[in-house]
Structure 1
Amino acid sequence: MGDAPIVVHRATGTGGRRVTIRAQISGLAHSDDDLIEFLRRAGMPDAWEALDDPAWVEWQGGHPHEYNAG
């Protein structure tokens, strides 16, 4: 695992990806909108700009921005 404070984990078999922020589970995202809401609640109002920055977000197991198991 990298040093990014936000980790979007592998998609679950039923869809959605678990999101952790600073090693704390934030919830299950089914879309970028869900992910942005978790980040907003964590105090990151400009989260859209960080989604594709590997210094901020580590996308594990699958392509970024895809939320269904494939």
Structure 2
Amino acid sequence: MKDAHAPVQVLPPSSGGGRPVLLGNVVLGVAYSPVDVVDILRQAGIEESVIALDDGNLIEWQGGGPEVWD
């Protein structure tokens, strides 16, 4: 069991289908697909080469993994 949260958290889908993406306590944006998550993280300064949507040390998916959007 992990003691700390991953630095990036993708919250459960909202009623509109978007998922807020947080870095720490800062909302970076709302994603509507896995591609959006990568784009949001890239815009926040995280190199695309280190972004792996299945990396639990980087991203904590709440309310379902990267396949859940509605």
1:36 aligned residue (29, 35, 38): 38
Specify the alignment match of 1:27 in structure 2.
Answer: 29
Specify the alignment match of 1:59 in structure 2.
Answer: 61
User: For the Cα contact (< 8 Å) 2:34–2:66, is it kept in 1?
Assistant: no
User: For the Cα contact (< 8 Å) 1:36–1:47, is it kept in 2?
Assistant: no
Task: Report runs of 4+ in structure 1 exceeding 4 Å deviation.
Answer: none
Q: Which runs of 5+ in 1 are unaligned?
A: none
Q: Deviation per CA, 1:14-53, whole angstroms, max 9, x where unpaired? A: 2110110122001110011111111001111226742101
**Percent identity of equivalent pairs:** 37
Q: Which runs of 5+ in 2 are unaligned?
A: none
Specify the alignment match of 1:6 in structure 2.
Answer: 8
Superposed CA RMSD in Å reads 2.0
Tell me by how many angstroms 1:63 deviates: 3.0
Normalising by structure 2, we get a TM-score of 0.82
Output the amino acid matched with 1:54: G
